[in-house]
Structure 1
Amino acid sequence: MITLVHVSDVHLDGSARSTERVERVVRHISGLPGPIDAVLVTGDIADHGTAEEYETARDLLRFPYPTIICPGNHDSRPEFRKVLLGEAGSGAPVNQVLRLGDATIALCDSSIPGRDDGYLDDETLRWLAEVLESSGAPVLVGMHHQPVPVGIPYVDEIALKEPERLEEVLHAHPQVVGLLVGHVHTAAATTFAGLPVYVAPGVASTALLPQESTAWPPIDFDLPPGFALHVLADGRLTSHARVVL
């Protein structure tokens, strides 16, 4: 059995508010009494993509577990690479893999520089296919953008474009057991390519459904930050959402 913590959309912007919310979540997760095998963070680390925001993220997102992070649409690849990964500031996709015993976590960069919607380019899809071909079961694939609509119109307009390209890769590799994404700022569960898709809660804010609010944008900044816990056992993914008060 493997247990993963899933954090997303921290949107560090230099404010005391964003710093406090991230500190609260990290402190809570780091103090959990049960075994945690890894933490994955699915994008929108910085709010404006500045080096200063990533320096704050580097200092705050310190967990006592292996941690893997991918960019979101608010992130900047060069600054993300330089500050968080200690690499040259390339604009190439930031794709990363974490192996936990027999399990593999593949985080794809679905960001498009300068845009809010998502896309997995040819380089990323080739990388993912290579990771999957070298991995046994089980594999979890993560990214920032959700590949299917979730019923929140303004978020669905900036979802992953041409998801059928990803679907083709997934159909060719049956060892994938689920997809983990962010971007939506609310916990949600759906399916794609015959697989479960879990959307992590947001740390910075919570998106509201049309049934909950007619405001624009439909975002609640007062609800508490959240995260998810995923349990992977016997080839089955079970997910739990939590808030941090």
Structure 2
Amino acid sequence: MKLLQLTDIHLTKPGETIGDRDPNANFQKALAHAIHLHGDADALVITGDLSDWGDREDYIRLKEMLAPVPFPVHLCIGNHDERDVFLSVFPETSDDNGFVQSVFDLPVGTGIVLDSWGPNSHAGFYCETRRAWLATQLERLEGPVFLFMHHNPVPIGIAPMDQIMLQEAEAFGQLVARHADKIRHIFHGHCHLPLCGSLHGVPFSAPRGTNHAGWPDFGNDRNLSASDLPEAYAVILAGDNSVMVHMVEFGYQGEIRREGSPDYADWDRLTMVR
């Protein structure tokens, strides 16, 4: 099974930039790159911050951009989004409680999109109603289950980012712990950093994002930190017993060289290209 994860696309008014980068152009570039190289993907999930300011025009433009994608697309919302505005364009993504949550079949197991949005805050929230919904899904599914969400459920050790992580992390973690035998992996965004770790034994990961990049500035206790690292998305390869996650830096502009060999017999000091 092959899945694609794009995150933090931050669509905004045409011509506007974020970090001197054009988020609309970069999202289109990411889509084109992913479709060209991974047209055999089983699904694409975009894990939030679909719009930079939650404007309806951004969601309309997103719908138009996604129309040609040749595989199923599933959407999370993030702190930069506006749930009601998003649902006015994508009403089919709502669960029975009005949250942007859904369950979808995969060649290996099941995917679940989670809604960690909350009003007037950049932090993430996963209230009792949402936890009850997720618990119901996890109880009825056989597994493996792959969770997709925007906010990081584990502190990353950088103070400003940890202030805006998932606020109900302990309650969410307890729910994950009860179903750790079914949950294969958690995929999130939000931090604009390549991250990996585990929560109650369940691995999680995040790619950098398709536009502006963060930096792990552990000495910064007040501001969010940015860098000029390349834009990226994730390619996820999963089988019955394994998960492999690649971060593909599609924004890299340098040379890609094919050198060396996996054949040990070709490793020669005089002739091997290094």
Please report the TM-score for the alignment, with normalisation by the length of structure 2.
0.82
> Which stretches in structure 2 are left out of the alignment for 5+ residues?
16-21, 252-274
What RMSD over aligned residues (CA atoms) do the two structures have, in Å?
2.3
Paired residue for 1:219?
Answer: 226
Q: Structure 1, residues 38-64: CA drift from partner, whole Å, max 9, x if none? A: 111110000111101111111223421
Conserved? CA contact 1:78–1:91, under 8 Å: no
Indicate whether 1:210 and 2:217 are aligned: yes
Conserved? CA contact 1:102–1:136, under 8 Å: no
The residue type equivalent to 1:60 in the other structure is M
1:18-167 aligned within 5 A:
18-33=23-38, 35-62=40-67, 63-85=69-91, 92-167=98-173
Q: Secondary structure at the match of 1:127?
A: helix
1:98 deviation in Å? 1.3
Following the alignment from structure 1 to structure 2, what is the Cα–Cα distance between the partners of residues 42 and 152? 21
Q: Structure 1, residues 14-55: CA drift from partner, whole Å, max 9, x if none? A: 133111101100101111156211111110000111101111
Q: Secondary structure at the match of 1:171?
A: helix
Following the alignment from structure 2 to structure 1, what is the Cα–Cα distance between the partners of residues 243 and 41? 15
CA change 1:237–1:80 in 2 (3 A) is: same
1:151 deviation in Å? 3.1
Conserved? CA contact 2:159–2:222, under 8 Å: no
1:163-242 aligned within 5 A:
163-173=169-179, 174-210=181-217, 216-220=223-227, 222-242=228-248
Following the alignment from structure 2 to structure 1, what is the Cα–Cα distance between the partners of residues 222 and 123? 22
Paired residue for 1:14?
Answer: 13
Paired residue for 1:244?
Answer: 250
Following the alignment from structure 1 to structure 2, what is the Cα–Cα distance between the partners of residues 87 and 180? 18
Work out the percentage of aligned pairs sharing the same amino acid.
28
Following the alignment from structure 1 to structure 2, what is the Cα–Cα distance between the partners of residues 87 and 140? 17
The residue type equivalent to 2:233 in the other structure is F
The residue type equivalent to 2:12 in the other structure is D
Following the alignment from structure 1 to structure 2, what is the Cα–Cα distance between the partners of residues 152 and 203? 21
The residue type equivalent to 1:193 in the other structure is H
Q: Secondary structure at the match of 1:224?
A: coil
Following the alignment from structure 1 to structure 2, what is the Cα–Cα distance between the partners of residues 84 and 212? 40
Conserved? CA contact 1:119–1:162, under 8 Å: yes
The residue type equivalent to 1:233 in the other structure is G
CA change 1:87–1:3 in 2 (3 A) is: closer
1:223 deviation in Å? 3.2
Q: Secondary structure at the match of 1:230?
A: strand
Conserved? CA contact 1:96–1:106, under 8 Å: yes
Following the alignment from structure 1 to structure 2, what is the Cα–Cα distance between the partners of residues 138 and 91? 25
Following the alignment from structure 2 to structure 1, what is the Cα–Cα distance between the partners of residues 38 and 225? 35
Q: Secondary structure at the match of 1:126?
A: helix
Following the alignment from structure 1 to structure 2, what is the Cα–Cα distance between the partners of residues 71 and 51? 13
Conserved? CA contact 2:8–2:50, under 8 Å: yes
1:131 deviation in Å? 1.3
Q: Secondary structure at the match of 1:198?
A: strand
- Which structure: larger Rg? 2
Higher strand share: 1
Following the alignment from structure 1 to structure 2, what is the Cα–Cα distance between the partners of residues 216 and 165? 27
